[in-house]
Amino acid sequence: MAGITLPKFNFHFNLPFLNRQSLSVGLDIGSHSIKACELATYGKGFRLISLGSARLPQHSVEDGVLQNPDAVAKTITALTSNLKLAGRKVAISISGYSVIVKKINLEVMNEQQLEAHIRSEAEQYIPFDIDEVYLDFQDLKTNSASEERTDVMLVAAKKDVVDAYLALLRSVGLKTVIVDVDAFALENAYGSCYGMQDNVVLVDIGASKMNINIISNGNSVLARDVILGSGLITEQIQNRFGLEYDDAEALKIGLKPPGKHKEQLEEIFVSICTQWITEIKRALDFYATNHADSPISNIILSGGGSKTKGLDKFFSMETGIPAEVFNPFRKVDFNASKINPAFIKIIAPEMALSAGLATRPVTI
């Protein structure tokens, strides 16, 4: 990949899915829980070795920033020990205010010229002091032979936030070999299942935020985080009905019948889901303005929030685009005697980021 060499890690976007090297353990450190996924190359695809999640104490991670490193470290240690992970080299992804992902249009340059330009001109594209961020980029090569300009995806991540994650993982005996961005980890997960031919919207709904990534002709053309997660639904259910967290979650995803609360639950769902739809429509409108000849074919939902009962149908109805809940393991082999297929089906949507990270080869 074209890009700036970063200390001990690098960002990547479209990577070879079937690279026959040893793979990283995908570790998704969210605001609600930590998810871990370990894959191995298997024929022309992957075999699932281990997966699982562990809930974090409240406020341990907020907006992608570590607030209680000790609690996160203890949770990671317990999870990796319980899963008996074979690998100690991990890939993580980050999101939130500390990460900027921006597509810029530049004159066509060779790799060395592009790197020099990014280094010297980055401050005009990002709202951070250039000395306080790690930078990387990828030339999307959107130009034809006769065109003199091309799109470049620029990523900047605040050093203090990234370094805090690296130090935390070192403290629990893990070596971070890849730091990615949530949007691109999700893109890898999708690409390993479906390829990159379709024009799709990838929507990952976590507890505290929603990530939108629009893929067109094999490239990410729009990636953004929205600080609006499914935890709001759970919180409102708890407050409205005086329930404990687990009972509220069960109502949210349909494991518990709504009973007399049906109408009130629908009010809560519609209120939050309408806000999600507004953000997705905004992204779709932006895309349509610039890619009128490449209509979106599907909305792919993932994250714990995607398990909200009826969400896929609601999104499809509101946007007029087919929506489905993503199973990142649909083409992954596994030993059914060791990993319960029913467990995979339940947990799969929220494992999308860790699964995407787990497809990444260890390169250092």
**pLDDT tens string 89-141:** 999 999 988 999 988 889 988 888 988 988 888 888 888 888 999 999 888 88
| Statement: residue 241 has pLDDT above 70 | yes
Residues of the domain holding 274:
25-234+265-358
Q: Give the number of other Cβ atoms within 10 Å of residue 216's Cβ.
A: 20
Mean of the per-residue pLDDT values of the chain:
89
Query: Do residues 198 and 102 make contact, with C-beta atoms less than 8 angstroms apart?
Result: no
Q: Is 9 within a domain?
A: no
| Statement: residue 195 has pLDDT above 90 | no
Q: Is 195 within a domain?
A: yes
Q: Is 53 within a domain?
A: yes
Q: Residue 61 — pLDDT band, cuts 50, 70, 90?
A: very high
Structural domain count, the chain: 1
| Statement: residue 6 has pLDDT above 70 | no
Q: Is 62 within a domain?
A: yes
**Span of 12-26, 44-58, 150-164, 223-237 with lowest mean pLDDT:** 12-26
**pLDDT tens string 23-59:** 899 999 999 999 999 999 988 899 999 999 999 998 9
CATH number at residue 87: 3.30.420.40
Q: Is 204 within a domain?
A: yes
Q: Is 239 within a domain?
A: no
Q: Is 249 within a domain?
A: no
Q: Is 258 within a domain?
A: no
Q: What is the pLDDT of residue 119?
A: 84
Residue 36 pairs in a beta bridge with 27, 52
Burial class (CB within 10 angstroms; exposed 0-12, middle 13-18, buried 19+) of 67: middle
